Homo-oligomer: A and B are copies of this chain.
Amino acid sequence: MDDTRRADEGFLREAIGLAVENVGAGLGGPFGAVVVRGGEVVGRGANRVTTSHDPTAHAEVVAIRAACARLGTHKLDGCVIYASCEPCPMCLAAIYWARIERLCFAATREDAAAAGFDDELFYRELRLPIEERSIPTLQMLGEAGQEPFAAWRASPLSIPY
Contacts and interface: CB of A to CB of B under 8 A. Distances in A.
Contact of A155 (B23, B50, B73, B92): B23
Contacts of A32: 148
Q: How many chain copies?
A: 2
Main secondary structure on A side of the interface with B: mixed
Please classify how large the interface on chain A is, using the bins under 10, 10 to 19, 20 to 34, 35 or more.
35 or more
A107 B8 CA distance: 41
A89 to B, nearest CB: 4
Contacts of A89: 89-90, 92-93, 126
A136 interface: yes
A159 B108 CA distance: 21
Given A23-B148, A26-B157, A106-B139, 15 more contacts: A9-B140, A20-B151, A23-B155, A23-B157, A32-B148, A54-B68, A55-B98, A56-B56, A85-B145, A88-B93, A89-B89, A96-B135, A103-B136, A106-B141, A115-B153
